Amino acid sequence: MRILVCVKRVPQTGGRIVLTPDGQEIDTKFLGFTVSPHEECGVEEAVRIIEAHGGETVVLTLGPTAAEDQLRDAMAIGIDRAVLLETDGSEWDPVSTAAAITAAIRDQEAAGGAPFDLVIFGNESADSGGFQVGIRVAVALGRPVVSGLKGLTVGDGSVRARREAAGGGWETYDLPLPAVVGVKEGINLPRYPSVPGRLRAKKKEIERITVGAAGGGPAASAGTPFGPVKALLRLPEDEGSQVEILGRGADAAPAVVDLLERIGVLAP
Amino acid sequence: MSGPVLVFVEVAAGEADRVSLETLALVRGVAGALGGAPVEALLVGEDAAGVAGSLGAHGVTTAHAVTDPRIAGAYAPGAWGAALAELARARGAVAVVGSGTERGAEVLAHAAARLGMPLAANVVAVTPGDSWRVTRQRWAGSLLEDATLDAPIRCLTIAPHAVPVDEREGVAPAAVAPFAPAVTESDLVVRVTGREAPAAGSISLADAKVVVSGGRGVGSSDGFRIIEELAGLLGAAVGVSRAVTSAGWRPHTEQVGQTGTRVAPDLYVACGISGAIQHIVGCKSAKRILAINTDAESPIMAVADYAVIGDLHTIVPAISAEIRRRRG
């Protein structure tokens, strides 16, 4: 099997987000970078499938030169090689991103002489959360696609996919290969990279393809409407709850249960 | 006059999904700003026609219903998206709108890809004009983005809970129009082929009235016994933070947050959860948040309405004991 997994470099947030003074991006002076948890699981899933079935895994990202770090992270847990669609560091909209990834997949498949059996995306990027790049790529390639997956079982020429149903329970889908999937955190518990894995990753190949700015990408040059185009980022207004301290330690239990009764979540 | 705004309305158990009704409320405002553009809806489901008429109260003039069991019998994201795209073209729609639910996001992405149009996801405000201005959520709502959407057909999903439902009385029911889209076999390749019912007696996290959640502070898999005990007494669902699932203490289906489930209960009890932004976005729609934490300065306190300061390992059992005592 050949599997391609797509990831996106994003700031490692956790505490309060701070923006740059021009409101164009998150101030990352004091932040590291990572990929979305969904994509970490996508990388892990690709490695597990190839461990079980044999074949080749490739990781691809569209981003700045520094996104090499995220490609190396993926190779450290077992991805074979990497492709960097190198931007000028500016933000790419989903239409442009999907067009560039589609073009890169076609080139990779032409060079490899066969399609990727599976192209894995994270369900949505952690930062811009457009919920669409994987589906756009699949539609452009004419391949079946399903998102939101928390289970994948590869069979002979097909894959069974499992996702949580609204309201509880699960639903299953059966897709013929080659296919595109959007996976979610929870599909597996990703391993940590080992030291030998990290050392091996340093020696693995990263193929670099310059794509520059979104406005010069394949979507814009094909005259396709693209966007949405970011104007400004801002923090939501502070909902500013005033916290009422009910007490300290176990002695607060009666005050808590009074509250439960008052708000009607506990029949008195 | 402007062409219609076309809304994909989700149907569950013979009713329009509440989040879809919120989307219609926001669209009503957009249609007004467009000088009274008609609002039309697409519903897919064998029972869609029965639901369609009721959408008049939510501003819909015409509701197109796909009931062909080949398409409507089981959820098929590509086929439903293709149907939405076809209808948008046929009706000369100026915008195609869905909800930022799992299915809404998926169907709109399929429709936008097939139309060759951009899609703005999880929008909370729209100002139409030559170029539409939208405000959309990033980082699951921890950050907002003002953006422009410039295309002949604007595709949007509306973030859940961005606006309340706007149901009006004394309005004519929507006209119901059967719609038979020209869906191809390849569009139908991906569809739900099997279902597993939720475990008997389980409480859906997304719909629970009370959620009792535990974080890193619970300390271990065994530590969750006291969380489960309190949840059981309250008829609550158990939730967890990402630290807990990453440690393998609890299944990911219980995770609340950006990459887990978004909850909106009457009460959210956060035990030993410090409150990373990725967790807060998953629980901030709760009506009330009670935090139980050793650290009075932890970020969860910024969104909590009530707090008990101290060790959850003594406080949670004391609360359970007090409930039992009062129940006699």
Distance from CA of A104 to the nearest CA of B (A): 18
The low-confidence residues of chain B, meaning pLDDT below 70, are 1
User: Could you give the dihedral angle defined by the CA atoms of residues A253, A256, A260 and A261, in that order, rounded to the nearest 10 degrees?
Assistant: 70
Question: Is-contact B261 B255, C-beta < 8 A?
Answer: yes
Whether residue B18 lies within 8 A of chain A, CB to CB, comes out as no
Nearest to A147 among B106, B194, B314 (CB): B106
Distance CA A234, CA A186 (A): 30
pLDDT one-digit tens code per residue, A189-219: 999 999 999 999 999 999 999 998 988 888 8
Verify that B34 and B95 share a domain, yes or no. Answer: yes
Instruction: Check whether residue B109 and residue B138 sit in a common domain.
Output: yes
- Residue-level pLDDT at A267: 65
Would you state the pLDDT for residue A105? 98
pLDDT at position A177 over 90:
yes
Q: Tell me, what's the pLDDT at B53?
A: 87
B226-B231-B235 Cα angle (round to 5): 155
List of chain A residues whose C-beta atoms are within 8 Å of the C-beta of residue B252: 150, 185-186
Hunting for tokens 């670099």 — which residue is that?
A208
Question: Residue A138: what pLDDT?
Answer: 98
What φ, ψ does residue B233 adopt, rounded to 5°?
-65, -30
For residue B317, which residues of chain A lie inside 8 Å, CB to CB? 250
Torsion angle, alpha carbons of A40, A44, A46, A51, to 10: 170
Distance between CA atoms of residues A25 and A233, nearest Å: 7
Range of the domain at B100: 5-188
The class that CATH gives domain A2-221 is: alpha beta
Count up the domains in chain B and report the number: 2
Does B213 touch chain A if contact means CB atoms closer than 8 Å? no
**Are the beta carbons of A144 and B190 separated by less than 8 Å?**
yes
Residues B146 and B239 reside in one and the same domain: no
**What is the overall mean pLDDT for chain A?**
95
- The verdict on a CB contact (< 8 Å) between A234 and B146 is yes
Contact B259 A37 (CB under 8 A): yes
The CA distance from A220 to A229, in Å, is 13
User: Quick one: DSSP state of residue B256?
Assistant: B
The one-letter amino acid code at B109 reads A
Give the pLDDT band (50/70/90) at residue A240.
Answer: low
Question: What average pLDDT does the segment A98-107 reach?
Answer: 98
The residues in B 140-159 lying below 8 A from A, measured between CB atoms, are 140-152, 157
Q: Are residue B22 and residue B158 in the same domain, yes or no?
A: yes
Output the domain CATH number for residue B301.
3.40.50.1220
Residues B167, B27 within the same domain: yes
pLDDT for position A268 = 54
Contact A171 B194 (CB under 8 A): yes
| Residue B199 within a domain | no
Within a domain: B226: yes
Q: Closest to A257 (Cβ–Cβ): which among B259, B305, B319?
A: B319
Same domain (yes/no): B172, B274: no
For chain A, domain boundaries? 2-221
Closest residue of chain B to A123, computed from CA coordinates: B259
Please indicate, yes or no, whether residues B112 and B239 belong to a single structural domain of this protein.
Answer: no
* Average pLDDT of the residues of chain B: 95
Task: Kindly state the percentage of chain B with pLDDT values over 70.
Answer: 100
Q: What is the pTM of this model?
A: 0.95
| Strand residue runs (E) in chain A | 2-7, 10-11, 33-34, 56-63, 81-87, 118-122, 145-149, 151-154, 158-164, 170-176, 179-183, 206-212, 229-234, 244-248
pLDDT of residue A166: 85
Domain co-membership, B48 together with B175: yes
Mean pLDDT of all residues in A171-185: 98
Answer whether A268 sits within 8 Å of B326, measured CB to CB. yes
What digits encode the pLDDT tens for the residues B10-56?
A: 998 889 999 999 999 999 999 999 999 999 999 999 889 889 989 99
Residue B190 to residue B193: CA distance in whole angstroms:
9
Number of inter-chain CB pairs under 8 A, A vs B: 280
Does some domain include residue B254?
yes
The reported pLDDT for the residue numbered B282 is 95
Amino acid sitting at position B129: G
Whole-Å CA distances, B211 to A58, A267, B74, B267: 41, 16, 31, 7
Give the CA angle between residues A115, A119, A121 to the nearest 5°. 160
What is the predicted pLDDT for the residue at B328?
82
Same-domain pairing of B146 and B214: no
Whether residue B128 is found in the same domain as residue B259: no
**Sign of CA pseudo-dihedral A135, A139, A141, A144:** positive
What CATH number does the domain containing B164 carry? 3.40.50.620
| CA distances to B38, B111, B162, B174, B192 from B27, in Å | 10, 18, 12, 15, 29
CA distance B19 to B34: 23
Q: What pLDDT score was predicted for residue B1?
A: 67
Q: Tell me whether the omega of the peptide bond preceding residue B38 falls within 30 degrees of 0, making it cis.
A: no
The span from the first CA to the last CA of chain B, in angstroms, equals 68
Burial readout B13-34 (b: 16 or more C-beta within 10 A, e: otherwise): eeebbebbbbbbbbbbbbbeeb
